[in-house]
A and B are shown apart, each in its own frame.
Chain A
Amino acid sequence: MYNFELVKPSTLAEAVAALAGEDAQPLSGGQTLIPSMKARLNAPETLVSLTGIAELKGVSRSGDTLTIGAATTHADVAEQAAADFPGLAALAGQIGDPAVRNRGTIGGSLANNDPSACYPAAALGTGATIVTNTREIAADDYFQGMFTTALEEGEIITAVRFSIPQASAYAKFLQPASRFALTGVFVAQYASGVRVAVTGASENGVFRWAEAEAALSSDFTPDAIAGLSCPADEMIADLHGSAAYRAHLVGVMTRRAVIAAG
Protein backbone atom coordinates (compact mmCIF):
# COMPACT_ATOMS: atom_id res chain seq x y z
CA MET A 1 0.00 0.00 0.00
CA TYR A 2 1.05 3.58 -0.50
CA ASN A 3 2.55 5.24 2.53
CA PHE A 4 0.69 7.84 4.58
CA GLU A 5 1.02 9.70 7.83
CA LEU A 6 -0.72 8.12 10.81
CA VAL A 7 -1.85 10.42 13.58
CA LYS A 8 -3.51 9.29 16.77
CA PRO A 9 -5.31 12.04 18.66
CA SER A 10 -6.65 11.47 22.17
CA THR A 11 -9.61 13.84 21.95
CA LEU A 12 -12.44 14.33 19.49
CA ALA A 13 -11.51 17.99 19.00
CA GLU A 14 -7.98 17.03 17.93
CA ALA A 15 -9.37 14.42 15.55
CA VAL A 16 -11.73 16.93 13.93
CA ALA A 17 -8.84 19.36 13.49
CA ALA A 18 -6.61 16.67 11.98
CA LEU A 19 -9.34 15.63 9.54
CA ALA A 20 -9.57 19.17 8.21
CA GLY A 21 -6.16 18.60 6.59
CA GLU A 22 -5.66 17.79 2.93
CA ASP A 23 -6.73 14.26 1.96
CA ALA A 24 -7.17 13.03 5.52
CA GLN A 25 -9.45 10.14 6.42
CA PRO A 26 -10.58 8.68 9.72
CA LEU A 27 -9.36 5.21 10.71
CA SER A 28 -11.43 3.22 13.16
CA GLY A 29 -10.92 -0.56 13.42
CA GLY A 30 -9.55 -0.68 9.89
CA GLN A 31 -11.07 -4.06 9.05
CA THR A 32 -12.39 -2.71 5.74
CA LEU A 33 -10.17 0.31 5.21
CA ILE A 34 -6.83 -1.49 5.56
CA PRO A 35 -7.65 -4.23 2.99
CA SER A 36 -8.94 -1.54 0.60
CA MET A 37 -5.70 0.42 1.03
CA LYS A 38 -3.67 -2.72 0.33
CA ALA A 39 -5.63 -3.11 -2.89
CA ARG A 40 -4.90 0.56 -3.65
CA LEU A 41 -8.59 1.29 -3.83
CA ASN A 42 -7.96 3.96 -1.23
CA ALA A 43 -4.80 6.00 -0.69
CA PRO A 44 -5.20 8.78 1.87
CA GLU A 45 -2.28 11.04 2.70
CA THR A 46 -3.19 11.10 6.37
CA LEU A 47 -5.07 8.63 8.51
CA VAL A 48 -6.55 9.93 11.74
CA SER A 49 -6.94 7.02 14.16
CA LEU A 50 -10.05 7.22 16.33
CA THR A 51 -9.08 4.28 18.53
CA GLY A 52 -7.31 6.33 21.17
CA ILE A 53 -10.27 8.59 21.97
CA ALA A 54 -11.90 7.43 25.21
CA GLU A 55 -15.05 9.53 24.72
CA LEU A 56 -15.91 7.51 21.59
CA LYS A 57 -16.04 4.18 23.42
CA GLY A 58 -18.51 2.37 25.61
CA VAL A 59 -22.11 1.24 25.98
CA SER A 60 -24.50 3.07 28.31
CA ARG A 61 -28.22 2.89 29.03
CA SER A 62 -30.53 5.70 30.03
CA GLY A 63 -34.18 4.71 30.30
CA ASP A 64 -35.11 2.94 27.07
CA THR A 65 -32.18 4.40 25.14
CA LEU A 66 -28.92 2.56 24.58
CA THR A 67 -26.02 4.73 23.48
CA ILE A 68 -22.96 3.11 21.93
CA GLY A 69 -19.77 5.04 21.33
CA ALA A 70 -18.72 4.95 17.68
CA ALA A 71 -15.32 3.40 18.38
CA THR A 72 -16.78 0.53 20.40
CA THR A 73 -15.74 -2.80 18.91
CA HIS A 74 -18.19 -5.45 17.78
CA ALA A 75 -16.87 -7.75 20.53
CA ASP A 76 -17.56 -5.11 23.18
CA VAL A 77 -21.08 -4.49 21.86
CA ALA A 78 -21.74 -8.26 21.83
CA GLU A 79 -20.73 -8.42 25.47
CA GLN A 80 -21.84 -5.09 26.92
CA ALA A 81 -25.22 -4.75 25.17
CA ALA A 82 -26.28 -8.35 25.84
CA ALA A 83 -28.42 -7.60 28.90
CA ASP A 84 -30.06 -4.39 27.63
CA PHE A 85 -30.53 -5.09 23.93
CA PRO A 86 -29.96 -8.79 23.17
CA GLY A 87 -31.02 -8.49 19.52
CA LEU A 88 -28.28 -5.97 18.83
CA ALA A 89 -25.67 -7.85 20.87
CA ALA A 90 -26.41 -11.04 18.94
CA LEU A 91 -25.98 -9.18 15.64
CA ALA A 92 -22.62 -7.80 16.75
CA GLY A 93 -21.51 -11.29 17.78
CA GLN A 94 -22.13 -12.61 14.25
CA ILE A 95 -20.02 -10.07 12.38
CA GLY A 96 -16.89 -11.46 10.74
CA ASP A 97 -14.90 -13.69 13.05
CA PRO A 98 -13.53 -13.18 16.59
CA ALA A 99 -10.39 -11.35 15.48
CA VAL A 100 -12.36 -9.00 13.22
CA ARG A 101 -14.82 -8.34 16.05
CA ASN A 102 -11.95 -7.35 18.33
CA ARG A 103 -10.95 -4.49 15.99
CA GLY A 104 -13.97 -3.51 13.87
CA THR A 105 -16.27 -0.82 15.27
CA ILE A 106 -19.92 0.17 14.98
CA GLY A 107 -19.05 3.68 13.79
CA GLY A 108 -16.70 2.34 11.15
CA SER A 109 -19.32 -0.06 9.85
CA LEU A 110 -22.01 2.63 9.65
CA ALA A 111 -19.69 5.18 8.04
CA ASN A 112 -18.67 2.66 5.38
CA ASN A 113 -22.27 1.48 4.77
CA ASP A 114 -21.30 -1.68 2.93
CA PRO A 115 -24.48 -2.98 1.27
CA SER A 116 -23.94 -6.37 2.93
CA ALA A 117 -22.84 -5.20 6.40
CA CYS A 118 -24.87 -6.17 9.45
CA TYR A 119 -24.99 -2.97 11.53
CA PRO A 120 -26.90 -0.87 8.97
CA ALA A 121 -29.82 -3.32 9.36
CA ALA A 122 -29.89 -2.73 13.11
CA ALA A 123 -29.59 1.04 12.81
CA LEU A 124 -32.33 1.33 10.18
CA GLY A 125 -34.42 -1.41 11.75
CA THR A 126 -34.60 0.46 15.04
CA GLY A 127 -34.76 3.99 13.65
CA ALA A 128 -31.51 4.74 15.47
CA THR A 129 -29.96 8.18 15.70
CA ILE A 130 -26.48 8.62 14.25
CA VAL A 131 -24.72 11.22 16.39
CA THR A 132 -21.79 13.07 14.82
CA ASN A 133 -19.46 15.82 15.95
CA THR A 134 -21.80 18.39 14.40
CA ARG A 135 -25.38 17.02 14.43
CA GLU A 136 -27.78 14.13 14.89
CA ILE A 137 -29.03 12.20 11.86
CA ALA A 138 -32.06 9.90 11.84
CA ALA A 139 -31.27 6.49 10.35
CA ASP A 140 -34.04 7.01 7.78
CA ASP A 141 -32.09 10.00 6.43
CA TYR A 142 -28.60 8.61 7.00
CA PHE A 143 -28.40 5.66 4.58
CA GLN A 144 -28.34 6.96 1.02
CA GLY A 145 -27.36 3.95 -1.06
CA MET A 146 -24.45 1.56 -1.43
CA PHE A 147 -21.38 2.94 0.42
CA THR A 148 -23.17 6.31 0.58
CA THR A 149 -24.33 8.14 3.71
CA ALA A 150 -25.42 11.59 4.83
CA LEU A 151 -21.97 12.19 6.38
CA GLU A 152 -20.13 15.27 5.15
CA GLU A 153 -16.40 15.39 4.47
CA GLY A 154 -14.54 15.42 7.78
CA GLU A 155 -17.65 14.62 9.83
CA ILE A 156 -17.11 11.94 12.48
CA ILE A 157 -19.73 9.62 13.95
CA THR A 158 -19.34 9.89 17.73
CA ALA A 159 -22.14 7.61 18.93
CA VAL A 160 -25.23 5.70 17.90
CA ARG A 161 -28.41 5.99 19.97
CA PHE A 162 -30.84 3.09 19.88
CA SER A 163 -34.38 3.09 21.20
CA ILE A 164 -34.54 -0.35 22.85
CA PRO A 165 -37.37 -2.39 21.28
CA GLN A 166 -39.83 -4.63 23.12
CA ALA A 167 -38.57 -7.53 21.01
CA SER A 168 -36.01 -7.79 18.24
CA ALA A 169 -33.80 -10.21 16.33
CA TYR A 170 -31.43 -10.33 13.41
CA ALA A 171 -31.48 -13.27 11.03
CA LYS A 172 -28.40 -13.52 8.84
CA PHE A 173 -27.91 -15.81 5.87
CA LEU A 174 -24.15 -16.00 5.96
CA GLN A 175 -21.94 -15.71 2.90
CA PRO A 176 -19.35 -18.02 4.43
CA ALA A 177 -16.29 -16.79 2.53
CA SER A 178 -16.69 -13.09 3.25
CA ARG A 179 -18.69 -13.61 6.47
CA PHE A 180 -20.92 -10.72 5.40
CA ALA A 181 -24.68 -11.21 5.01
CA LEU A 182 -25.83 -12.74 1.73
CA THR A 183 -29.09 -11.38 3.06
CA GLY A 184 -29.81 -10.29 6.62
CA VAL A 185 -32.99 -8.98 8.22
CA PHE A 186 -33.42 -7.07 11.47
CA VAL A 187 -36.90 -6.88 12.97
CA ALA A 188 -37.80 -4.69 15.93
CA GLN A 189 -41.13 -4.43 17.71
CA TYR A 190 -42.14 -1.17 19.38
CA ALA A 191 -45.39 0.02 20.91
CA SER A 192 -45.72 2.26 17.84
CA GLY A 193 -45.24 -0.61 15.37
CA VAL A 194 -42.73 -2.98 13.84
CA ARG A 195 -39.72 -2.05 11.72
CA VAL A 196 -38.04 -4.42 9.27
CA ALA A 197 -34.68 -3.57 7.70
CA VAL A 198 -32.90 -5.67 5.08
CA THR A 199 -29.18 -5.75 4.31
CA GLY A 200 -27.17 -7.69 1.72
CA ALA A 201 -29.99 -7.81 -0.80
CA SER A 202 -30.44 -4.48 -2.56
CA GLU A 203 -28.18 -2.62 -4.94
CA ASN A 204 -29.27 0.47 -3.04
CA GLY A 205 -27.94 -0.82 0.28
CA VAL A 206 -29.98 -1.34 3.42
CA PHE A 207 -33.74 -0.73 3.06
CA ARG A 208 -36.99 -1.04 4.98
CA TRP A 209 -39.54 -3.58 3.82
CA ALA A 210 -42.71 -1.53 4.24
CA GLU A 211 -45.24 -4.29 3.45
CA ALA A 212 -43.76 -6.59 6.07
CA GLU A 213 -43.71 -3.75 8.59
CA ALA A 214 -47.43 -3.13 8.05
CA ALA A 215 -48.32 -6.81 8.32
CA LEU A 216 -46.18 -7.42 11.40
CA SER A 217 -47.39 -4.27 13.12
CA SER A 218 -50.90 -5.72 13.26
CA ASP A 219 -49.79 -9.30 13.94
CA PHE A 220 -46.21 -10.00 15.06
CA THR A 221 -46.13 -13.65 13.98
CA PRO A 222 -44.45 -15.47 11.08
CA ASP A 223 -47.91 -16.22 9.64
CA ALA A 224 -48.56 -12.50 9.16
CA ILE A 225 -46.03 -12.35 6.32
CA ALA A 226 -46.69 -15.80 4.87
CA GLY A 227 -48.24 -14.40 1.68
CA LEU A 228 -45.79 -11.54 1.18
CA SER A 229 -42.93 -11.53 -1.27
CA CYS A 230 -40.31 -8.85 -1.71
CA PRO A 231 -39.88 -7.66 -5.33
CA ALA A 232 -36.58 -8.66 -6.98
CA ASP A 233 -36.16 -5.29 -8.73
CA GLU A 234 -32.75 -3.74 -8.03
CA MET A 235 -31.63 -6.72 -5.95
CA ILE A 236 -27.95 -7.66 -6.00
CA ALA A 237 -27.17 -10.46 -8.44
CA ASP A 238 -23.75 -12.15 -8.32
CA LEU A 239 -22.21 -15.61 -8.37
CA HIS A 240 -23.43 -16.19 -4.81
CA GLY A 241 -27.09 -15.62 -5.60
CA SER A 242 -29.44 -14.20 -8.22
CA ALA A 243 -31.74 -11.24 -7.62
CA ALA A 244 -34.71 -13.60 -7.34
CA TYR A 245 -32.85 -15.76 -4.82
CA ARG A 246 -32.04 -12.77 -2.65
CA ALA A 247 -35.64 -11.54 -2.87
CA HIS A 248 -36.75 -14.97 -1.70
CA LEU A 249 -34.23 -14.87 1.15
CA VAL A 250 -35.69 -11.57 2.36
CA GLY A 251 -38.95 -13.35 3.13
CA VAL A 252 -37.24 -16.37 4.65
CA MET A 253 -34.94 -14.33 6.88
CA THR A 254 -37.78 -12.02 7.96
CA ARG A 255 -39.74 -15.05 9.11
CA ARG A 256 -36.71 -16.43 10.93
CA ALA A 257 -36.11 -13.09 12.62
CA VAL A 258 -39.74 -12.86 13.78
CA ILE A 259 -39.55 -16.38 15.20
CA ALA A 260 -36.26 -15.59 16.95
CA ALA A 261 -37.65 -12.34 18.37
CA GLY A 262 -40.80 -14.04 19.66
Chain B
Amino acid sequence: MTRVTMTVNGRQMSAETEGRTLLSSYLRDLLGLTGTHVGCDTSQCGACVVLVDGKAVKSCTAFAGDLEGAEVTTVEGMANPDGSLGRIQQAFQDYHGLQCGFCTPGMVMSTAALLAENPTPTEEEVRHYLEGNICRCTGYQNIVRAVMAASGQDAGALAAE
Protein backbone atom coordinates (compact mmCIF):
# COMPACT_ATOMS: atom_id res chain seq x y z
CA MET B 1 0.00 0.00 0.00
CA THR B 2 1.20 3.47 -0.84
CA ARG B 3 -0.11 6.71 0.60
CA VAL B 4 -1.14 9.09 -2.17
CA THR B 5 -1.84 12.74 -1.46
CA MET B 6 -3.68 15.11 -3.75
CA THR B 7 -5.37 18.47 -3.46
CA VAL B 8 -9.01 17.68 -4.09
CA ASN B 9 -11.42 20.59 -4.46
CA GLY B 10 -8.89 22.83 -2.74
CA ARG B 11 -8.29 20.56 0.28
CA GLN B 12 -5.33 18.30 0.80
CA MET B 13 -6.50 14.69 0.99
CA SER B 14 -4.62 11.42 1.24
CA ALA B 15 -5.37 7.72 1.32
CA GLU B 16 -3.62 4.36 1.20
CA THR B 17 -3.74 2.96 -2.34
CA GLU B 18 -2.82 -0.19 -4.21
CA GLY B 19 -1.01 0.01 -7.55
CA ARG B 20 -4.28 -0.73 -9.33
CA THR B 21 -6.34 1.92 -7.48
CA LEU B 22 -7.93 4.06 -10.16
CA LEU B 23 -8.46 7.78 -9.64
CA SER B 24 -12.24 7.14 -9.76
CA SER B 25 -11.91 4.57 -6.97
CA TYR B 26 -9.61 6.84 -4.97
CA LEU B 27 -12.19 9.62 -5.11
CA ARG B 28 -15.31 7.53 -4.56
CA ASP B 29 -14.24 4.64 -2.34
CA LEU B 30 -11.35 6.11 -0.36
CA LEU B 31 -12.31 9.78 -0.08
CA GLY B 32 -16.09 9.27 -0.18
CA LEU B 33 -16.59 11.75 -3.01
CA THR B 34 -19.30 9.81 -4.81
CA GLY B 35 -20.34 12.65 -7.08
CA THR B 36 -17.94 11.28 -9.69
CA HIS B 37 -19.79 8.49 -11.47
CA VAL B 38 -18.38 5.37 -13.09
CA GLY B 39 -20.51 4.47 -16.07
CA CYS B 40 -18.80 2.16 -18.54
CA ASP B 41 -15.45 1.71 -16.77
CA THR B 42 -13.91 1.32 -20.25
CA SER B 43 -13.11 5.01 -20.91
CA GLN B 44 -15.93 5.36 -23.42
CA CYS B 45 -18.70 7.24 -21.61
CA GLY B 46 -17.11 10.17 -19.78
CA ALA B 47 -19.34 10.03 -16.67
CA CYS B 48 -16.16 9.88 -14.56
CA VAL B 49 -14.48 12.99 -15.99
CA VAL B 50 -12.75 15.17 -13.41
CA LEU B 51 -10.19 17.94 -13.76
CA VAL B 52 -6.57 17.01 -13.07
CA ASP B 53 -4.36 20.10 -12.93
CA GLY B 54 -7.14 21.91 -14.78
CA LYS B 55 -7.54 19.38 -17.58
CA ALA B 56 -10.39 16.97 -18.22
CA VAL B 57 -9.36 13.40 -17.51
CA LYS B 58 -11.33 10.15 -17.36
CA SER B 59 -10.79 9.19 -13.75
CA CYS B 60 -11.52 5.51 -14.49
CA THR B 61 -8.50 5.46 -16.80
CA ALA B 62 -5.74 6.89 -14.61
CA PHE B 63 -4.03 5.37 -11.60
CA ALA B 64 -4.15 7.31 -8.34
CA GLY B 65 -0.51 6.50 -7.69
CA ASP B 66 0.44 8.21 -10.95
CA LEU B 67 -1.16 11.45 -9.77
CA GLU B 68 0.63 12.09 -6.49
CA GLY B 69 0.47 15.82 -5.75
CA ALA B 70 -2.09 16.58 -8.45
CA GLU B 71 -4.80 19.21 -8.10
CA VAL B 72 -8.12 17.53 -8.73
CA THR B 73 -11.53 19.13 -9.10
CA THR B 74 -14.65 16.96 -8.94
CA VAL B 75 -18.30 17.89 -9.35
CA GLU B 76 -18.43 18.48 -5.58
CA GLY B 77 -15.96 21.31 -6.17
CA MET B 78 -18.24 23.03 -8.67
CA ALA B 79 -20.71 24.35 -6.09
CA ASN B 80 -20.37 27.86 -4.67
CA PRO B 81 -18.68 28.20 -1.27
CA ASP B 82 -22.10 28.59 0.39
CA GLY B 83 -23.22 25.26 -1.06
CA SER B 84 -25.52 26.69 -3.69
CA LEU B 85 -25.20 25.47 -7.27
CA GLY B 86 -22.29 26.89 -9.23
CA ARG B 87 -22.77 28.64 -12.56
CA ILE B 88 -22.49 25.52 -14.73
CA GLN B 89 -24.59 23.40 -12.36
CA GLN B 90 -27.28 26.09 -12.27
CA ALA B 91 -27.37 26.26 -16.05
CA PHE B 92 -27.87 22.48 -16.22
CA GLN B 93 -30.80 22.84 -13.81
CA ASP B 94 -32.28 25.86 -15.57
CA TYR B 95 -32.15 24.28 -19.03
CA HIS B 96 -33.02 20.77 -17.93
CA GLY B 97 -29.62 19.55 -19.09
CA LEU B 98 -30.13 16.23 -17.38
CA GLN B 99 -32.72 13.50 -17.35
CA CYS B 100 -31.60 10.56 -15.23
CA GLY B 101 -28.55 12.57 -14.17
CA PHE B 102 -26.01 9.76 -14.30
CA CYS B 103 -23.79 11.37 -16.93
CA THR B 104 -24.18 14.85 -15.43
CA PRO B 105 -21.04 14.98 -13.25
CA GLY B 106 -18.91 14.22 -16.30
CA MET B 107 -20.88 16.66 -18.44
CA VAL B 108 -20.40 19.43 -15.86
CA MET B 109 -16.66 18.76 -15.55
CA SER B 110 -16.11 18.60 -19.32
CA THR B 111 -18.07 21.85 -19.60
CA ALA B 112 -15.79 23.42 -17.01
CA ALA B 113 -12.73 22.33 -19.01
CA LEU B 114 -14.25 23.59 -22.25
CA LEU B 115 -15.19 27.01 -20.87
CA ALA B 116 -11.76 27.42 -19.29
CA GLU B 117 -10.21 26.93 -22.76
CA ASN B 118 -12.91 28.62 -24.79
CA PRO B 119 -15.22 30.91 -22.76
CA THR B 120 -17.74 31.50 -25.54
CA PRO B 121 -17.87 28.36 -27.70
CA THR B 122 -20.16 27.96 -30.68
CA GLU B 123 -22.80 25.24 -30.62
CA GLU B 124 -20.61 23.15 -32.93
CA GLU B 125 -17.61 23.57 -30.64
CA VAL B 126 -19.71 22.47 -27.66
CA ARG B 127 -20.90 19.36 -29.45
CA HIS B 128 -17.38 18.57 -30.61
CA TYR B 129 -15.87 19.01 -27.16
CA LEU B 130 -18.50 16.84 -25.48
CA GLU B 131 -17.95 13.93 -27.89
CA GLY B 132 -16.38 11.89 -25.12
CA ASN B 133 -19.38 12.34 -22.82
CA ILE B 134 -22.27 10.04 -23.57
CA CYS B 135 -25.85 10.64 -22.35
CA ARG B 136 -27.88 7.47 -22.74
CA CYS B 137 -31.08 9.40 -22.15
CA THR B 138 -29.97 11.18 -25.35
CA GLY B 139 -30.63 14.54 -23.76
CA TYR B 140 -28.00 16.30 -25.82
CA GLN B 141 -30.10 19.22 -27.04
CA ASN B 142 -30.73 20.51 -23.54
CA ILE B 143 -27.17 19.73 -22.46
CA VAL B 144 -25.88 21.92 -25.28
CA ARG B 145 -28.38 24.63 -24.29
CA ALA B 146 -27.14 24.43 -20.71
CA VAL B 147 -23.51 24.79 -21.79
CA MET B 148 -24.35 27.76 -23.99
CA ALA B 149 -26.24 29.36 -21.09
CA ALA B 150 -23.36 28.65 -18.70
CA SER B 151 -21.09 30.52 -21.11
CA GLY B 152 -23.38 33.53 -20.91
CA GLN B 153 -24.72 33.05 -24.44
CA ASP B 154 -28.30 32.91 -25.62
CA ALA B 155 -29.33 29.28 -25.30
CA GLY B 156 -32.75 30.04 -26.75
CA ALA B 157 -31.14 30.84 -30.11
CA LEU B 158 -30.23 27.20 -30.76
CA ALA B 159 -32.09 25.58 -33.59
CA ALA B 160 -34.54 22.88 -32.55
CA GLU B 161 -33.61 19.38 -33.68
- A97 CA to B46 CA, complexed, in Å: 10
Q: Is the CB of B62 within 8 A of A34?
A: yes
What are the interface flags for A94-119 relative to B under an 8 Å C-beta threshold, 1 for contact and 0 otherwise? 00111110110000000000000000
Partner-contacting stretch, out of B51-59, B71-79, B83-91, B136-144 = B51-59
Is A208's beta carbon under 8 Å from chain B?
no
Of B19, B114, B132, B133, which contacts A47 at CB under 8 A? B19
Is B43's beta carbon under 8 Å from chain A?
yes
Is B20's beta carbon under 8 Å from chain A?
yes
Q: Is the CB of A103 within 8 A of B57?
A: yes
> Hey, which chain A residues are within 8 Å of B49, CB to CB?
99
> Hey, which chain A residues are within 8 Å of B56, CB to CB?
98-99, 102
Q: Is the CB of B65 within 8 A of A102?
A: no
- A8 CA to B2 CA, complexed, in Å: 12
> Hey, which chain A residues are within 8 Å of B52, CB to CB?
102
- A113 CA to B46 CA, complexed, in Å: 24
- A8 CA to B62 CA, complexed, in Å: 13
B114 to chain A, nearest CB (A): 8
Chain B interface helix/strand/loop/mixed: mixed
Question: For the side of the interface on B, what is the size category?
Answer: 20 to 34
Chain A contact residue count (CB 8 A cutoff):
28
Closest to A2 in B: B20
> Hey, which chain A residues are within 8 Å of B42, CB to CB?
35, 38
Q: Is the CB of A102 within 8 A of B55?
A: yes
Is B41's beta carbon under 8 Å from chain A?
yes
Of A2, A5, A6, A102, which contacts B66 at CB under 8 A? A6
Q: Is the CB of B132 within 8 A of A99?
A: yes
Q: Is the CB of A1 within 8 A of B46?
A: no
B46 to chain A, nearest CB (A): 7
Is B102's beta carbon under 8 Å from chain A?
no
Q: Is the CB of B68 within 8 A of A8?
A: yes
What are the interface flags for A36-63 relative to B under an 8 Å C-beta threshold, 1 for contact and 0 otherwise? 0110000000010101100000000000
- Known A31-B43, A34-B61, A35-B42; judge A100-B132 contact (CB<8 A): yes
- Known A4-B19, A35-B42; judge A97-B61 contact (CB<8 A): no
- Known A27-B66, A34-B43, A38-B41; judge A100-B58 contact (CB<8 A): yes
Is B131's beta carbon under 8 Å from chain A?
yes
A24 to chain B, nearest CB (A): 12
- A220 CA to B72 CA, complexed, in Å: 48
Closest to A174 in B: B131
Is A134's beta carbon under 8 Å from chain B?
no
> Hey, which chain B residues are within 8 Å of A99, CB to CB?
46, 49, 56-58, 110, 132
> Hey, which chain B residues are within 8 Å of A102, CB to CB?
52, 55-57
> Hey, which chain A residues are within 8 Å of B57, CB to CB?
99, 102-103
Of A5, A6, A52, A75, which contacts B55 at CB under 8 A? A75
What are the interface flags for B1-30 relative to A under an 8 Å C-beta threshold, 1 for contact and 0 otherwise? 010000000000000001110100000000
- A177 CA to B19 CA, complexed, in Å: 29
A15 to chain B, nearest CB (A): 13
> Hey, which chain B residues are within 8 Å of A37, CB to CB?
20
- Known A97-B46, A98-B110, A99-B132; judge A30-B62 contact (CB<8 A): yes
Given contact pairs A3-B19, A6-B65, A47-B63, enumerate 14 new A-B contacts (beta carbons under 8 Å): A1-B20, A3-B20, A5-B19, A6-B66, A8-B66, A27-B63, A30-B63, A30-B66, A34-B61, A38-B42, A49-B65, A98-B129, A98-B131, A103-B62
9 closest cross-chain pairs (CB), A and B: A97-B132, A6-B19, A6-B65, A102-B55, A99-B56, A4-B19, A99-B58, A3-B20, A97-B131
